[in-house]
Amino acid sequence: MTALLLIALGGALGGMARYWISELVEARYGDRFPLGTLLVNLIGAFAIGLAAGWLPDGPPPQGGGFGPVWAALVVGGLGSFTTVSSFSLQTLTLLRSGRAGRGVLNIAVSVAGCLGAAALGLALAGGWG
């Protein structure tokens, strides 16, 4: 039960942070490209890389459990902070509205950027090899 409460708390904070950052970016740069979602996903990917390298109870082995810090920060916080579902819908909207180039760009930058950000976070946390 404690893990569920920690996940809920982390999820509430992560969701609010996602909303705040997305709104801030959209207000500054407009909504012609889903830059807010991209930024949130890059930050989230970097943060999960750091968490994987730094947290004492971090990522569970296959089939294993996870500790309270991982539950709150990664499962709850980063789980609600990152926006893969928003990314998917925004990319489909770009593709369906005749802006295929922007849709493909969003896919390429999001996937490559988030993988790179996660690898950088893990490397900086000392967990790369």
List the domain range (segments joined by +) for residue 6. 2-124
Q: What does the pLDDT look like over 30-70, one tens digit per residue?
A: 989 999 999 999 999 999 888 888 887 666 554 556 788 88
Residue whose C-alpha is closest to residue 78's, from 41, 111, 115: 41
Mean pLDDT in residue range 110-129: 90
On whether residue 129 sits in a domain, the answer given is no
Amino acid at 129: G
Contact between 106 and 44 (Cβ < 8 Å): no
Q: How many domains does the chain have?
A: 1
116 inside domain = yes
Using the 8-state DSSP alphabet, how is residue 49 labeled? Answer: H
